[in-house]
Structure 1
């Protein structure tokens, strides 16, 4: 197997040669075999072991085993202990998901702090098949059936084309010892049930199951590549980005042969789950919206508008004292400078009569009922009417910030100042206010 593994690295993963590698090791068969293979090929590898404290003395024994192995092979080893059950309860997630988050977060921290080029995990062909079947039983799109990627960002899975049987045969031949996790024998979890009950039956029916599965995965990945290329072309035609907002042209979407499929491909990375609701937005009234855990999709006349939830959730009040020369906010940096004269103005710069301002000034999001006296116009106007005249989308309106003096609008920041605070012939002190 060593020669086959070396050939695989040379042909598919040549970047591992000469790179600094962090190998995730549990003490089980897969990661121990990967450790020995990397060591024999003299790769620059260090070990990282997570003690999740889920199996009492067994977890500690795994840690001791890994420490002893690192000592025998003269490899650097990093150990981290986690209170996994507490973390799972705090985050409201399963034990398995908590362990996954904890270990990958730690691996990436180590890689960044210590300049590791890649993180190696010991997923093999049987793991890939199990993941495929799990996704298949839960319902998924094509992407969920393309298997575990061999390379994803810094994570590399060099054993993905090798079966567990191959790894075990190699370990026995080389007299390699490993730790068995007793929980792997339980069929309580879906993955274990597939591993112990379903996949052996499938292999009995077709001894070439894994080889045929690899062919299927390869074909599905080719199909996914074609889809990705098509989506890139469509994206250029109907998607535009305006600041932190993504706009999808509804009219162009409806002309596509399968709008639902394209919507899924365009929005799949934004954590939406209610896909029927997403599709229904195409024919919904303006103002209708669908939420994911991280984003909001809003129907606004001729467009679907996508934005992060954080960008529309700020409601706090920012106070500005007379002595403040600079205020840093989520939407930019505001500066306040007394000047001798008015120079060039822009949407990001206004000049005010400083003596007309009542401190502390305040900055907040606009609210229904707010009104102002637009510079250059006679009379007042509700902000809602101003926004309508300016054809601002609902999301644009929610992202508008207002500078107030008492209850009076001084500036719709980045858009329009108020007539009442303009510089006149009677002004003695000019305050320049600028957003950067």
Structure 2
């Protein structure tokens, strides 16, 4: 196995020979064999061990075993104790998930603190099969069927092509000692039940089952890469990026790509949307229908879908601007105030007002139902809701509108229209230029 392992490293991970490595070592068969193989290849590495305090004295004995093993292979030893049960309860996750989150967080902390280039874990081919079956049983897209990645950011899994039987045979031939985790024999966890009850039967059906599974996963990975490239191409053709991190998706254009339901799901899943039926309902719904992921919101707006990040805590925010202030930052940009001698070019981002008509402090706030203003260049007042409708502003665009106000009166719908009541006249003594950048 040593020669096969070395060839695998040379062909796929040559950077490990010169990298500063951290090996995650539980003391079990897989991680002990991985560490031995890395020592035989003269890698530079340190060892990290997690004590999850779940098995009492057995956990402590595992820790002592790995510490002694680290001394044998001349590696620096890191250990961290966790209150795993408390973490699981506080975060509402399973014990297995808690242990996973705790160890990966700590490994990343160690990598940053000690400048490790890569973190090695001992996942192998049987682990890959177990993960595949777990994801399949829970319902998953193709991403969940492509197995454990060999490289994921700074995590590397060099044992993935090797089976547990190969690892065990190498350990016995090399007279390597390891620790057995008693919890691995319990079948109350899904992974263990698959390992002990299901997978042996699958292997007995076909002697080459594990190898054939590995080939299938490779085909799925290649198919997934092709799909991702197609999705990237469609995004470039279909997505229109608007101001304020809003993405507009024309619904009619979706149909040009065939199977719009699947197409839309693939386009939106990276934004946290997972419910196919909910996405489809938004497409068919009336304007204004919206759904949320943890990070984004999808809104039906006439013949378009509008995708935007969720921004918390802005709707009720307001800003006061004292008279002496000449610049203030707001979510949509920076407002700048300057006394000038005369008006210059006016655009959507610049207005000129009669300073003596203002009541300080000025206020920047969100618009609300019932707001009205006197549009510059027009007679009479107009409700903002009517103005937005005439301007064909989308629901998201309306939500992002900010008002500059003097007392209860609107000076400017920022980025859109100034108010007639504060315009420059022949009687104006002080011209105030207001610009947003």
The answer to whether TM tops 0.5 is: yes
Partner of residue 156, structure 1: 156
Is 1:393 equivalent to 2:394 in the alignment? yes
Q: Partners in 1 of 2:380 and 2:222 — Cα distance?
A: 64
**Alignment CA distance shift 1:143-1:359 (3 Å):** same
**Alignment CA distance shift 1:182-1:322 (3 Å):** farther
Deviates more, 1:209-218 or 1:247-256: 247-256
User: In 2, are the aligned partners of 1:312 and 1:398 still within 8 Å (CA)?
Assistant: no
User: In 2, are the aligned partners of 1:51 and 1:63 still within 8 Å (CA)?
Assistant: yes
Partner of residue 433, structure 1: 434
Deviation of 1:411 after TM superposition, in Å, equals 2.3
User: In 2, are the aligned partners of 1:264 and 1:275 still within 8 Å (CA)?
Assistant: yes
SS in 2 for 1:179: coil
Deviation of 1:190 after TM superposition, in Å, equals 1.0
Q: Partners in 2 of 1:62 and 1:358 — Cα distance?
A: 73
SS in 1 for 2:368: coil
SS in 1 for 2:311: helix
Deviates more, 1:317-326 or 1:215-224: 317-326
Q: Partners in 1 of 2:361 and 2:81 — Cα distance?
A: 50
Is 1:47 equivalent to 2:42 in the alignment? no
TM-score of the pair, normalised by structure 1: 0.91
User: In 2, are the aligned partners of 1:49 and 1:79 still within 8 Å (CA)?
Assistant: yes
Is 1:305 equivalent to 2:306 in the alignment? yes
Deviates more, 1:421-430 or 1:92-101: 421-430
Deviation of 1:280 after TM superposition, in Å, equals 2.4
Is 1:101 equivalent to 2:101 in the alignment? yes
Q: Partners in 2 of 1:304 and 1:414 — Cα distance?
A: 23
Deviation of 1:136 after TM superposition, in Å, equals 1.2
Deviates more, 1:245-254 or 1:414-423: 414-423
**Alignment CA distance shift 1:266-1:375 (3 Å):** same
Partner of residue 256, structure 2: 255
Once the two structures are superposed, residues 65-105 of structure 1 have per-residue CA deviations (whole angstroms, 9 ceiling, x without a partner) of 33333333222333333333333333333332233223323
Deviation of 1:40 after TM superposition, in Å, equals 2.1
Residue pairs, 1:136-285, within 5 angstroms: 136-243=136-243, 244-285=245-286
SS in 2 for 1:23: strand
Q: Partners in 1 of 2:249 and 2:414 — Cα distance?
A: 27
Partner of residue 402, structure 1: 403
SS in 2 for 1:255: helix
Q: Partners in 2 of 1:177 and 1:323 — Cα distance?
A: 76
Q: Partners in 1 of 2:87 and 2:346 — Cα distance?
A: 53
RMSD: 2.4
SS in 2 for 1:310: coil
Q: Partners in 1 of 2:409 and 2:233 — Cα distance?
A: 49
Once the two structures are superposed, residues 287-334 of structure 1 have per-residue CA deviations (whole angstroms, 9 ceiling, x without a partner) of 112222222211111211111222696432333334444433433333
Once the two structures are superposed, residues 367-412 of structure 1 have per-residue CA deviations (whole angstroms, 9 ceiling, x without a partner) of 1222222233222221112222222111111122222222222222
Deviation of 1:120 after TM superposition, in Å, equals 1.9
User: In 2, are the aligned partners of 1:49 and 1:80 still within 8 Å (CA)?
Assistant: yes
User: In 2, are the aligned partners of 1:312 and 1:395 still within 8 Å (CA)?
Assistant: no
Number of residue pairs the alignment of both structures matches? 436
Q: Partners in 2 of 1:80 and 1:281 — Cα distance?
A: 47
SS in 2 for 1:107: helix
**Alignment CA distance shift 1:423-1:170 (3 Å):** farther
Partner of residue 355, structure 2: 354
Q: Partners in 2 of 1:15 and 1:255 — Cα distance?
A: 44
**Alignment CA distance shift 1:288-1:17 (3 Å):** same
**Alignment CA distance shift 1:371-1:104 (3 Å):** farther
Deviation of 1:344 after TM superposition, in Å, equals 4.4
- The gaps in structure 1 that reach 5 residues or longer are none
Q: Partners in 2 of 1:410 and 1:83 — Cα distance?
A: 57
Partner of residue 19, structure 2: 19
- The gaps in structure 2 that reach 5 residues or longer are none
Q: Partners in 2 of 1:70 and 1:23 — Cα distance?
A: 11
**Alignment CA distance shift 1:66-1:327 (3 Å):** farther
**Alignment CA distance shift 1:226-1:183 (3 Å):** same
Q: Partners in 2 of 1:137 and 1:405 — Cα distance?
A: 61
Q: Partners in 2 of 1:331 and 1:265 — Cα distance?
A: 30
TM-score of the pair, normalised by structure 2: 0.91
Deviates more, 1:251-260 or 1:20-29: 20-29
Q: Partners in 2 of 1:229 and 1:392 — Cα distance?
A: 33
